[in-house]
Amino acid sequence: MLPRRFTVLDVQAETHDTVTLGLAPVDGIPMAFRPGQFAMVGRPGFGEVPISISGDPDEPARLMHTVRAVGDATAALTRCAVGDPVFARGPYGRGWEEESGTDGDVLVVAGGIGLAPVRPVVLAVLRHRERYGRVVVVVGSRTPTDLLYRPQLEEWAARDDLDVVVTVDAGEPSWRGNVGLVTDVLPDLDPAATLVLVCGPEVMMRLTADALVRRGVVPSQIRVSMERNMRCGVGLCGHCQLREVFVCVDGPVLGYDRARTLMTMRGL
Amino acid sequence: MRSVEQLIAGHPFFVDLDEETVRHLAGCALNRHFDADEYLFRADDPAETFFLLRGGSVAIEIQGPGERRLIVETQGPGSVVGLSWLFPPYRHSMDARALSSTSAVALDAGCLREKCDQDPRVGYLMLQRLARAMHDRMMSARVRLLDLYGAPSAR
Protein backbone atom coordinates (compact mmCIF):
# COMPACT_ATOMS: atom_id res chain seq x y z
CA MET A 1 0.00 0.00 0.00
CA LEU A 2 2.95 2.34 0.29
CA PRO A 3 3.42 4.54 -2.75
CA ARG A 4 6.57 3.91 -4.70
CA ARG A 5 8.69 6.64 -6.25
CA PHE A 6 8.93 6.92 -10.00
CA THR A 7 10.56 9.40 -12.34
CA VAL A 8 8.99 10.65 -15.54
CA LEU A 9 10.94 9.25 -18.48
CA ASP A 10 8.85 10.69 -21.26
CA VAL A 11 5.65 12.59 -21.91
CA GLN A 12 3.60 12.08 -25.04
CA ALA A 13 0.82 14.58 -25.74
CA GLU A 14 -2.13 12.59 -27.07
CA THR A 15 -4.82 15.28 -27.31
CA HIS A 16 -5.35 18.79 -25.96
CA ASP A 17 -6.13 17.42 -22.47
CA THR A 18 -4.53 13.96 -22.40
CA VAL A 19 -0.93 12.81 -22.09
CA THR A 20 0.79 9.46 -21.80
CA LEU A 21 3.49 9.30 -19.15
CA GLY A 22 6.32 6.79 -19.25
CA LEU A 23 7.62 6.23 -15.71
CA ALA A 24 10.74 4.52 -14.39
CA PRO A 25 10.86 3.14 -10.83
CA VAL A 26 13.49 4.86 -8.71
CA ASP A 27 14.25 1.57 -6.92
CA GLY A 28 14.66 -0.21 -10.28
CA ILE A 29 11.95 -2.78 -9.56
CA PRO A 30 9.39 -2.90 -12.40
CA MET A 31 5.68 -2.85 -11.55
CA ALA A 32 4.63 -6.11 -13.20
CA PHE A 33 0.95 -6.04 -14.06
CA ARG A 34 -1.81 -7.86 -15.92
CA PRO A 35 -3.79 -6.12 -18.66
CA GLY A 36 -6.76 -4.30 -17.16
CA GLN A 37 -5.20 -3.53 -13.81
CA PHE A 38 -4.73 -0.03 -12.43
CA ALA A 39 -2.43 1.82 -10.06
CA MET A 40 -3.01 4.72 -7.67
CA VAL A 41 -0.90 7.50 -9.18
CA GLY A 42 -0.14 11.05 -8.14
CA ARG A 43 2.25 13.95 -8.12
CA PRO A 44 3.64 14.98 -4.73
CA GLY A 45 1.27 17.53 -3.19
CA PHE A 46 -1.68 16.82 -5.47
CA GLY A 47 -3.14 13.56 -4.20
CA GLU A 48 -3.48 10.24 -5.98
CA VAL A 49 -6.06 8.88 -8.39
CA PRO A 50 -6.75 5.44 -9.89
CA ILE A 51 -5.39 5.23 -13.43
CA SER A 52 -5.35 2.17 -15.64
CA ILE A 53 -1.94 0.95 -16.71
CA SER A 54 -1.78 1.49 -20.46
CA GLY A 55 1.64 0.01 -21.27
CA ASP A 56 2.93 -3.30 -22.55
CA PRO A 57 2.66 -5.98 -19.85
CA ASP A 58 5.82 -7.57 -21.25
CA GLU A 59 7.74 -4.32 -20.73
CA PRO A 60 6.89 -3.35 -17.13
CA ALA A 61 10.18 -1.51 -16.60
CA ARG A 62 8.52 1.47 -18.27
CA LEU A 63 5.24 2.01 -16.46
CA MET A 64 2.78 3.76 -18.75
CA HIS A 65 -0.26 5.76 -17.76
CA THR A 66 -2.49 7.75 -20.07
CA VAL A 67 -4.00 10.63 -18.11
CA ARG A 68 -6.80 12.99 -18.98
CA ALA A 69 -7.04 16.27 -17.05
CA VAL A 70 -10.45 16.15 -15.38
CA GLY A 71 -9.56 17.40 -11.89
CA ASP A 72 -6.68 18.80 -9.82
CA ALA A 73 -4.75 15.55 -9.41
CA THR A 74 -5.00 14.53 -13.05
CA ALA A 75 -4.31 18.06 -14.30
CA ALA A 76 -1.12 18.05 -12.23
CA LEU A 77 -0.07 14.77 -13.82
CA THR A 78 -0.69 16.14 -17.32
CA ARG A 79 1.68 19.03 -16.47
CA CYS A 80 4.57 16.63 -15.70
CA ALA A 81 7.89 17.14 -17.42
CA VAL A 82 10.71 14.65 -17.95
CA GLY A 83 12.53 14.08 -14.67
CA ASP A 84 9.57 15.03 -12.44
CA PRO A 85 8.75 12.76 -9.49
CA VAL A 86 5.53 10.73 -9.49
CA PHE A 87 4.20 8.32 -6.86
CA ALA A 88 2.45 5.11 -7.80
CA ARG A 89 1.22 2.06 -5.89
CA GLY A 90 -0.21 -1.13 -7.28
CA PRO A 91 -1.05 -2.86 -9.46
CA TYR A 92 -4.57 -3.43 -8.27
CA GLY A 93 -7.73 -5.06 -9.42
CA ARG A 94 -8.88 -7.83 -11.64
CA GLY A 95 -7.80 -7.61 -15.26
CA TRP A 96 -9.23 -8.67 -18.59
CA GLU A 97 -8.15 -12.34 -18.24
CA GLU A 98 -7.92 -12.60 -21.99
CA GLU A 99 -6.38 -16.08 -21.76
CA SER A 100 -9.89 -17.47 -21.33
CA GLY A 101 -10.54 -16.41 -24.94
CA THR A 102 -7.83 -18.58 -26.48
CA ASP A 103 -8.88 -20.66 -29.48
CA GLY A 104 -11.72 -18.21 -30.11
CA ASP A 105 -12.21 -14.77 -31.57
CA VAL A 106 -11.63 -11.59 -29.62
CA LEU A 107 -13.54 -8.34 -30.06
CA VAL A 108 -12.23 -5.26 -28.26
CA VAL A 109 -14.48 -2.18 -28.21
CA ALA A 110 -13.03 1.02 -26.78
CA GLY A 111 -14.52 4.47 -26.51
CA GLY A 112 -12.60 7.68 -25.83
CA ILE A 113 -10.07 7.36 -23.00
CA GLY A 114 -11.29 3.76 -22.69
CA LEU A 115 -8.69 2.83 -25.29
CA ALA A 116 -6.00 3.24 -22.60
CA PRO A 117 -7.08 0.31 -20.37
CA VAL A 118 -7.45 -2.02 -23.36
CA ARG A 119 -4.15 -1.17 -25.01
CA PRO A 120 -2.27 -3.69 -22.82
CA VAL A 121 -4.68 -6.50 -23.62
CA VAL A 122 -4.42 -5.84 -27.36
CA LEU A 123 -0.63 -5.95 -27.06
CA ALA A 124 -0.84 -9.18 -25.05
CA VAL A 125 -3.14 -10.81 -27.60
CA LEU A 126 -0.89 -9.74 -30.47
CA ARG A 127 2.18 -11.11 -28.67
CA HIS A 128 0.45 -14.50 -28.54
CA ARG A 129 -1.47 -14.08 -31.79
CA GLU A 130 -1.40 -17.77 -32.68
CA ARG A 131 -3.59 -18.58 -29.67
CA TYR A 132 -6.57 -16.64 -30.97
CA GLY A 133 -8.85 -16.67 -33.99
CA ARG A 134 -10.12 -13.45 -35.49
CA VAL A 135 -9.18 -10.31 -33.52
CA VAL A 136 -11.07 -7.06 -34.08
CA VAL A 137 -10.50 -3.72 -32.35
CA VAL A 138 -13.30 -1.12 -32.62
CA VAL A 139 -12.41 2.38 -31.46
CA GLY A 140 -14.82 5.26 -30.91
CA SER A 141 -13.76 8.84 -30.44
CA ARG A 142 -15.36 12.27 -30.21
CA THR A 143 -13.50 13.55 -33.27
CA PRO A 144 -10.48 12.33 -35.27
CA THR A 145 -8.31 14.81 -33.35
CA ASP A 146 -9.30 13.14 -30.06
CA LEU A 147 -8.06 9.69 -31.07
CA LEU A 148 -5.39 8.26 -28.75
CA TYR A 149 -2.28 6.41 -29.90
CA ARG A 150 -2.76 7.38 -33.53
CA PRO A 151 0.59 6.02 -34.80
CA GLN A 152 -0.08 2.73 -33.04
CA LEU A 153 -3.63 2.52 -34.39
CA GLU A 154 -2.21 2.96 -37.88
CA GLU A 155 0.34 0.24 -37.17
CA TRP A 156 -2.37 -2.10 -35.99
CA ALA A 157 -4.60 -1.28 -38.96
CA ALA A 158 -1.75 -2.18 -41.32
CA ARG A 159 -1.50 -5.73 -39.91
CA ASP A 160 -3.28 -8.43 -41.84
CA ASP A 161 -3.97 -10.47 -38.68
CA LEU A 162 -5.92 -7.69 -36.98
CA ASP A 163 -9.01 -5.70 -38.02
CA VAL A 164 -9.21 -2.14 -36.74
CA VAL A 165 -12.42 -0.15 -37.14
CA VAL A 166 -12.45 3.50 -36.09
CA THR A 167 -15.52 5.69 -35.81
CA VAL A 168 -16.02 9.23 -34.58
CA ASP A 169 -19.05 11.10 -33.24
CA ALA A 170 -18.32 14.06 -35.49
CA GLY A 171 -16.11 14.11 -38.54
CA GLU A 172 -13.78 16.82 -39.77
CA PRO A 173 -13.60 18.00 -43.39
CA SER A 174 -10.63 15.76 -44.20
CA TRP A 175 -12.05 12.69 -42.40
CA ARG A 176 -13.01 9.87 -44.74
CA GLY A 177 -13.70 7.25 -42.07
CA ASN A 178 -16.82 6.22 -40.19
CA VAL A 179 -19.03 8.74 -38.41
CA GLY A 180 -21.35 7.15 -35.86
CA LEU A 181 -21.38 5.12 -32.68
CA VAL A 182 -19.27 2.04 -32.03
CA THR A 183 -22.52 0.07 -32.04
CA ASP A 184 -23.05 1.21 -35.66
CA VAL A 185 -19.83 -0.49 -36.79
CA LEU A 186 -19.71 -3.73 -34.79
CA PRO A 187 -18.45 -6.58 -36.97
CA ASP A 188 -20.32 -9.75 -37.77
CA LEU A 189 -19.12 -12.36 -35.32
CA ASP A 190 -19.73 -15.88 -34.09
CA PRO A 191 -21.48 -15.18 -30.79
CA ALA A 192 -20.60 -18.60 -29.41
CA ALA A 193 -16.90 -18.22 -30.04
CA THR A 194 -16.15 -14.58 -29.24
CA LEU A 195 -14.74 -13.00 -26.10
CA VAL A 196 -15.71 -9.32 -25.96
CA LEU A 197 -13.79 -6.70 -23.99
CA VAL A 198 -15.44 -3.27 -23.69
CA CYS A 199 -14.09 -0.10 -22.11
CA GLY A 200 -15.29 3.48 -22.16
CA PRO A 201 -17.99 5.70 -20.67
CA GLU A 202 -20.49 3.58 -18.79
CA VAL A 203 -23.43 4.40 -21.08
CA MET A 204 -21.31 3.43 -24.07
CA MET A 205 -20.32 0.13 -22.44
CA ARG A 206 -23.92 -0.67 -21.60
CA LEU A 207 -25.23 0.09 -25.09
CA THR A 208 -22.41 -1.89 -26.68
CA ALA A 209 -22.88 -4.88 -24.40
CA ASP A 210 -26.66 -4.85 -24.93
CA ALA A 211 -26.20 -4.70 -28.70
CA LEU A 212 -23.93 -7.74 -28.52
CA VAL A 213 -26.31 -9.64 -26.25
CA ARG A 214 -29.04 -9.03 -28.86
CA ARG A 215 -26.69 -10.62 -31.39
CA GLY A 216 -26.46 -13.73 -29.25
CA VAL A 217 -23.30 -13.18 -27.21
CA VAL A 218 -23.71 -14.58 -23.70
CA PRO A 219 -23.33 -11.79 -21.09
CA SER A 220 -20.61 -13.68 -19.22
CA GLN A 221 -18.51 -13.57 -22.42
CA ILE A 222 -18.63 -9.77 -22.40
CA ARG A 223 -16.29 -8.02 -19.98
CA VAL A 224 -16.50 -4.36 -19.07
CA SER A 225 -14.12 -2.18 -17.08
CA MET A 226 -16.04 -0.41 -14.36
CA GLU A 227 -15.00 2.92 -12.95
CA ARG A 228 -16.17 4.22 -9.64
CA ASN A 229 -14.76 6.48 -6.95
CA MET A 230 -11.77 4.30 -6.01
CA ARG A 231 -9.71 5.69 -3.13
CA CYS A 232 -7.77 2.96 -1.30
CA GLY A 233 -7.54 0.50 -4.19
CA VAL A 234 -7.53 -2.48 -1.83
CA GLY A 235 -11.15 -2.96 -0.77
CA LEU A 236 -10.97 -1.20 2.61
CA CYS A 237 -12.51 2.26 2.35
CA GLY A 238 -15.77 1.29 0.62
CA HIS A 239 -15.90 4.34 -1.69
CA CYS A 240 -16.07 2.18 -4.80
CA GLN A 241 -18.64 -0.25 -3.44
CA LEU A 242 -21.46 -1.16 -5.80
CA ARG A 243 -23.88 -3.24 -3.76
CA GLU A 244 -21.80 -6.37 -2.96
CA VAL A 245 -19.01 -5.53 -5.40
CA PHE A 246 -15.83 -3.60 -4.54
CA VAL A 247 -14.75 -2.28 -7.93
CA CYS A 248 -11.09 -1.98 -6.85
CA VAL A 249 -10.87 -5.64 -5.84
CA ASP A 250 -13.67 -7.54 -7.59
CA GLY A 251 -13.10 -5.38 -10.69
CA PRO A 252 -12.48 -3.11 -12.38
CA VAL A 253 -13.07 -5.74 -15.04
CA LEU A 254 -16.37 -7.51 -14.51
CA GLY A 255 -18.41 -9.91 -16.59
CA TYR A 256 -21.50 -8.20 -18.01
CA ASP A 257 -23.66 -10.89 -16.41
CA ARG A 258 -22.63 -9.35 -13.10
CA ALA A 259 -22.23 -5.74 -14.16
CA ARG A 260 -25.50 -5.31 -16.06
CA THR A 261 -27.74 -5.01 -12.99
CA LEU A 262 -25.23 -2.80 -11.20
CA MET A 263 -25.03 -0.45 -14.17
CA THR A 264 -28.77 0.05 -14.40
CA MET A 265 -29.56 0.30 -10.71
CA ARG A 266 -30.70 3.85 -9.99
CA GLY A 267 -28.62 5.60 -7.35
CA LEU A 268 -25.62 3.30 -7.61
CA MET B 1 -22.11 -12.63 -61.08
CA ARG B 2 -25.17 -12.45 -58.86
CA SER B 3 -28.55 -11.28 -60.19
CA VAL B 4 -30.29 -8.21 -58.78
CA GLU B 5 -32.78 -10.60 -57.18
CA GLN B 6 -29.97 -12.40 -55.37
CA LEU B 7 -28.45 -9.08 -54.29
CA ILE B 8 -31.76 -7.94 -52.82
CA ALA B 9 -32.36 -11.27 -51.07
CA GLY B 10 -28.86 -11.18 -49.59
CA HIS B 11 -29.07 -7.63 -48.27
CA PRO B 12 -29.68 -7.26 -44.50
CA PHE B 13 -32.54 -4.77 -45.07
CA PHE B 14 -34.52 -7.51 -46.83
CA VAL B 15 -33.48 -10.41 -44.63
CA ASP B 16 -36.12 -13.12 -44.32
CA LEU B 17 -38.18 -11.71 -47.17
CA ASP B 18 -40.05 -14.41 -49.12
CA GLU B 19 -38.91 -15.26 -52.65
CA GLU B 20 -42.08 -14.01 -54.30
CA THR B 21 -41.75 -10.56 -52.72
CA VAL B 22 -38.06 -10.39 -53.60
CA ARG B 23 -38.91 -11.17 -57.23
CA HIS B 24 -41.65 -8.56 -57.15
CA LEU B 25 -39.30 -5.84 -55.82
CA ALA B 26 -36.45 -6.81 -58.14
CA GLY B 27 -38.52 -5.36 -60.95
CA CYS B 28 -37.75 -1.91 -59.49
CA ALA B 29 -34.00 -2.53 -59.07
CA LEU B 30 -30.76 -1.82 -60.88
CA ASN B 31 -27.14 -2.33 -59.94
CA ARG B 32 -25.30 0.99 -59.47
CA HIS B 33 -21.75 2.05 -58.80
CA PHE B 34 -20.38 5.37 -57.52
CA ASP B 35 -16.81 6.65 -57.55
CA ALA B 36 -15.29 8.31 -54.50
CA ASP B 37 -16.76 11.82 -53.98
CA GLU B 38 -19.60 11.16 -56.39
CA TYR B 39 -23.01 12.17 -55.02
CA LEU B 40 -25.80 9.61 -54.79
CA PHE B 41 -28.15 12.57 -54.32
CA ARG B 42 -28.23 16.11 -52.96
CA ALA B 43 -30.53 17.78 -50.44
CA ASP B 44 -33.84 18.87 -52.02
CA ASP B 45 -33.39 16.48 -54.98
CA PRO B 46 -36.54 14.48 -55.73
CA ALA B 47 -36.32 11.24 -53.74
CA GLU B 48 -36.41 9.03 -56.81
CA THR B 49 -34.15 6.25 -55.60
CA PHE B 50 -33.78 4.07 -52.52
CA PHE B 51 -30.30 2.58 -52.20
CA LEU B 52 -29.24 -0.71 -50.63
CA LEU B 53 -25.52 -0.32 -49.97
CA ARG B 54 -23.42 -3.35 -50.86
CA GLY B 55 -19.90 -2.05 -50.65
CA GLY B 56 -18.01 1.15 -49.89
CA SER B 57 -19.03 4.02 -47.64
CA VAL B 58 -21.48 6.92 -47.97
CA ALA B 59 -21.41 10.16 -45.99
CA ILE B 60 -24.74 11.74 -45.11
CA GLU B 61 -23.90 15.41 -44.90
CA ILE B 62 -25.10 18.99 -44.87
CA GLN B 63 -23.50 21.78 -46.81
CA GLY B 64 -21.98 24.35 -44.48
CA PRO B 65 -20.87 27.93 -45.21
CA GLY B 66 -18.64 28.21 -48.25
CA GLU B 67 -17.12 24.87 -49.26
CA ARG B 68 -17.59 23.22 -45.89
CA ARG B 69 -19.24 19.82 -45.75
CA LEU B 70 -20.52 18.69 -42.37
CA ILE B 71 -20.77 14.91 -42.12
CA VAL B 72 -23.68 13.84 -39.93
CA GLU B 73 -23.07 10.11 -40.24
CA THR B 74 -21.66 7.47 -42.54
CA GLN B 75 -23.37 4.35 -43.81
CA GLY B 76 -21.64 1.24 -45.09
CA PRO B 77 -22.30 -2.18 -46.59
CA GLY B 78 -25.60 -3.69 -45.43
CA SER B 79 -27.16 -0.31 -44.77
CA VAL B 80 -29.69 1.78 -46.72
CA VAL B 81 -29.65 5.35 -47.92
CA GLY B 82 -32.37 7.63 -49.27
CA LEU B 83 -35.16 7.02 -46.76
CA SER B 84 -37.29 9.97 -47.96
CA TRP B 85 -38.68 7.95 -50.88
CA LEU B 86 -41.70 6.85 -48.87
CA PHE B 87 -42.70 10.19 -47.33
CA PRO B 88 -44.22 13.23 -49.07
CA PRO B 89 -42.98 15.59 -50.42
CA TYR B 90 -40.51 12.91 -51.58
CA ARG B 91 -37.45 15.16 -51.36
CA HIS B 92 -34.05 14.23 -49.89
CA SER B 93 -33.25 16.15 -46.72
CA MET B 94 -29.44 15.86 -46.89
CA ASP B 95 -26.62 15.11 -49.30
CA ALA B 96 -25.29 11.58 -49.75
CA ARG B 97 -21.72 11.36 -51.04
CA ALA B 98 -19.66 8.25 -51.72
CA LEU B 99 -16.48 8.38 -49.62
CA SER B 100 -14.94 5.51 -51.54
CA SER B 101 -15.82 3.35 -54.51
CA THR B 102 -19.38 2.31 -53.62
CA SER B 103 -21.71 -0.32 -55.01
CA ALA B 104 -25.44 -0.32 -54.38
CA VAL B 105 -28.73 -1.74 -55.54
CA ALA B 106 -30.85 1.22 -56.65
CA LEU B 107 -34.59 0.79 -56.31
CA ASP B 108 -36.80 3.18 -58.26
CA ALA B 109 -38.97 5.03 -55.74
CA GLY B 110 -41.96 5.49 -58.03
CA CYS B 111 -41.97 1.79 -58.79
CA LEU B 112 -41.65 0.92 -55.08
CA ARG B 113 -44.48 3.28 -54.06
CA GLU B 114 -46.73 1.78 -56.72
CA LYS B 115 -46.06 -1.75 -55.47
CA CYS B 116 -46.72 -0.65 -51.88
CA ASP B 117 -50.02 0.95 -52.93
CA GLN B 118 -51.08 -2.14 -54.88
CA ASP B 119 -50.16 -4.59 -52.15
CA PRO B 120 -50.53 -3.25 -48.58
CA ARG B 121 -48.67 -6.31 -47.28
CA VAL B 122 -45.58 -5.21 -49.19
CA GLY B 123 -46.19 -1.64 -48.05
CA TYR B 124 -46.35 -2.70 -44.42
CA LEU B 125 -43.16 -4.76 -44.77
CA MET B 126 -41.29 -1.80 -46.26
CA LEU B 127 -42.61 0.56 -43.59
CA GLN B 128 -41.61 -1.79 -40.77
CA ARG B 129 -38.08 -2.10 -42.07
CA LEU B 130 -37.72 1.61 -42.77
CA ALA B 131 -39.04 2.44 -39.31
CA ARG B 132 -36.41 0.12 -37.82
CA ALA B 133 -33.64 1.87 -39.77
CA MET B 134 -34.93 5.28 -38.69
CA HIS B 135 -35.20 4.17 -35.05
CA ASP B 136 -31.61 2.96 -35.06
CA ARG B 137 -30.37 6.21 -36.60
CA MET B 138 -32.35 8.29 -34.16
CA MET B 139 -30.85 6.34 -31.25
CA SER B 140 -27.38 6.83 -32.65
CA ALA B 141 -27.95 10.57 -33.03
CA ARG B 142 -29.42 10.85 -29.52
CA VAL B 143 -26.49 9.05 -27.92
CA ARG B 144 -23.99 11.18 -29.81
CA LEU B 145 -25.79 14.27 -28.51
CA LEU B 146 -24.83 13.10 -25.01
CA ASP B 147 -21.18 13.72 -25.97
CA LEU B 148 -20.08 10.75 -23.87
CA TYR B 149 -16.43 11.19 -24.79
CA GLY B 150 -16.41 14.88 -23.90
CA ALA B 151 -14.86 16.24 -20.70
CA PRO B 152 -16.94 15.16 -17.67
CA SER B 153 -17.37 18.79 -16.55
CA ALA B 154 -18.96 19.60 -19.91
CA ARG B 155 -21.76 17.05 -19.41
- Please compute the mean of the pLDDT values over residues B100-116 and round it to a whole number: 96
Question: A113: which chain B residues are within 8 Å (Cβ-Cβ)?
Answer: 149
Whether B76 sits inside 8 A of A185 (CB atoms) is yes
Which residue on chain B is closest to A176 by alpha carbon?
Answer: B99
* pLDDT attached to residue B152: 74
Q: Return the CATH fold of A4-92.
A: Elongation Factor Tu (Ef-tu); domain 3 (2.40.30)
Backbone angles phi, psi at B76, to 5 degrees: -125, -165
A188-205 confidence digits (pLDDT tens)? 999 999 999 999 999 999
pLDDT at A72 over 50: yes
Q: How far is B59 from chain A (nearest CA, A)?
A: 8
B81-94 confidence digits (pLDDT tens)? 999 999 999 999 99
Of B74, B100, B147, the CB nearest to A180: B74
Are domains A4-92 and A98-264 of this chain identical in fold? Answer: no
Whether A179 sits inside 8 A of B72 (CB atoms) is yes
Report d(CA A167, CA A179) in Å as an integer. 5
* pLDDT attached to residue B155: 45
Report d(CA A47, CA A76) in Å as an integer. 9
Report d(CA B74, CA A176) in Å as an integer. 9
A interface mutation test: which of B37, B148, B153, B155 has the most A CBs within 10 A?
B148
A interface mutation test: which of B11, B15, B144 has the most A CBs within 10 A?
B144
CA distances from A71 to A67, A68, A75, B72, B148 (A): 11, 9, 6, 32, 17
> DSSP assignment, residue A266?
T
Report d(CA B97, CA B45) in Å as an integer. 13
> Domain extents for chain A?
4-92, 98-264
Q: Compute the Cα dihedral for A257, A68, A116, A112 and give only its sign.
A: positive
> DSSP assignment, residue A147?
-
Of A173, A177, A201, the CB nearest to B148: A201
Question: A142: which chain B residues are within 8 Å (Cβ-Cβ)?
Answer: 147, 149-150
A99-122 confidence digits (pLDDT tens)? 888 899 999 999 999 999 999 999
Length of chain B: 155
Report d(CA A257, CA A219) in Å as an integer. 5
Considering all CA atoms of chain A, what is the largest pairwise distance in Å, rounded to the nearest integer?
50
Give the global pTM: 0.93
Whether A180 sits inside 8 A of B140 (CB atoms) is yes
pLDDT at A268 over 70: no
What CATH number does the domain located at A98-264 have?
A: 3.40.50.80
Whether A183 sits inside 8 A of B59 (CB atoms) is no
* pLDDT attached to residue B153: 60
* pLDDT attached to residue A86: 98
> DSSP assignment, residue B59?
E
- Please compute the mean of the pLDDT values over residues B136-142 and round it to a whole number: 95
